[in-house]
């Protein structure tokens, strides 16, 4: 069985070390140095859930409850997930289960997909690609990418979007390959397709912001990061990159807001230390700019509190 090192996992899934450490601290995944392909699948699902702002505690409670209710070893891989508010439900064996409440839920989406009484089911041509085929193609593409077969991975991802133009993760992974090949124009096109296919896909807007930043189009990059944050206000990396983008435009107050948001979300580690350093610099700069704003003393208006001038040794 193929195993992946921790650094490989970070690169494959395009997540940061602090994100993985956060999932480990939250009890969502065990801390380990070697990962299987199944582990990658689980981590990919966790990444999507956290990008969609599903609370870590809710994910953990739902997984534990589903293990108890259905006897599953790994519900994230053995059942399909459905978000219901801040909790998770699972589709398995033709039913939708809320494991925390231990209730069966009415599956409106499944009913809407079924043909009405007396209406024939839609015809499918022999050999038509279904959802399972697409998932298998996707796994093969990821494996090809991991083994360094970039051209084969590109061909597989392109095959996926040809047969299922709504499969946004394929656009993302294909765009990331082109991003690392420095083909930023093609990467932008693919990330935009992902945002159009799934307007709620947070990672698509985040990645679009990154490539627009590389293309030195700061206004568009800022707009993409803002959309990612609008979809997932607790997406720490988007706040971090947005703060950097505002600093490049000398928009210090806007940068300050997002540095502060970042340190609230990520309290430990080198990135949070850097963010705190930027906050300190910006606050110091702001104090200096305020001190030099007036050219001469302006007397207070009547009724206002008097200011006492004091000398200060430097």
Confidence band for 233, pLDDT divided at 50, 70 and 90:
confident
CA–CA gap between residue 200 and residue 266 (Å, rounded): 23
Phi–psi pair at 152, nearest 5 degrees? -70, -40
- Average pLDDT over the chain, rounded to whole? 76
Average pLDDT of the residues in 66-93: 70
Q: What is the 8-class DSSP label of residue 88? A: E
CA-based diameter of the chain, in Å? 91
CA–CA gap between residue 169 and residue 86 (Å, rounded): 23
Domain parsing of the chain, residue ranges: 1-53, 55-106
pLDDT tens digit sequence for 89-98: 777 665 677 7
Confidence band for 104, pLDDT divided at 50, 70 and 90:
low
Confidence band for 86, pLDDT divided at 50, 70 and 90:
low
């Amino acid at each position: 069985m193929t195993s992946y090192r921790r650094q490989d996992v970070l690169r494959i899934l395009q997540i940061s070390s602090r994100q993985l450490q956060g999932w480990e601290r939250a009890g969502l995944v065990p801390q380990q140095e070697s990962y299987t392909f199944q582990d990658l699948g689980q981590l990919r699902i966790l990444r999507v859930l956290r990008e969609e702002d599903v609370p870590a505690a809710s994910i953990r409670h739902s997984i534990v409850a589903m293990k108890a209710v259905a006897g599953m070893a790994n519900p994230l891989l053995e059942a399909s997930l459905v978000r219901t508010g801040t909790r998770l439900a699972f589709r398995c064996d033709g039913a939708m289960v809320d494991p925390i409440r231990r209730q069966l839920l009415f599956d409106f989406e499944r009913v809407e997909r079924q043909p009405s009484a007396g209406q024939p089911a839609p015809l499918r041509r022999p050999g038509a690609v279904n959802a399972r085929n697409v998932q298998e193609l996707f796994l093969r593409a990821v494996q090809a990418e991991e083994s360094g077969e970039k051209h084969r991975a590109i061909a597989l991802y392109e095959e996926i979007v040809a047969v299922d133009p709504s499969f946004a993760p394929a656009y993302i992974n294909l765009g990331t390959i082109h991003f690392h090949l420095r083909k930023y124009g093609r990467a932008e096109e693919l990330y935009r397709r992902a945002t159009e296919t799934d307007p709620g896909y947070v990672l698509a807007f985040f990645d679009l912001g990154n490539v627009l930043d590389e293309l030195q189009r700061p206004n568009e990059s800022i707009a993409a990061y803002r959309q990612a944050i609008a979809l997932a206000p607790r997406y720490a990396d988007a706040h971090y990159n947005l703060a950097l983008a505002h600093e490049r435009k000398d928009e210090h107050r806007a940068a300050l807001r997002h540095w502060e948001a970042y340190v609230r979300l990520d309290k430990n580690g080198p990135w949070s230390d850097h963010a705190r350093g930027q906050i300190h610099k910006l606050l110091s700069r702001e104090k200096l700019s305020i001190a030099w704003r007036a050219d001469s003393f302006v007397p207070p208006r009547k009724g206002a509190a008097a200011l006492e001038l004091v000398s200060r040794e430097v």
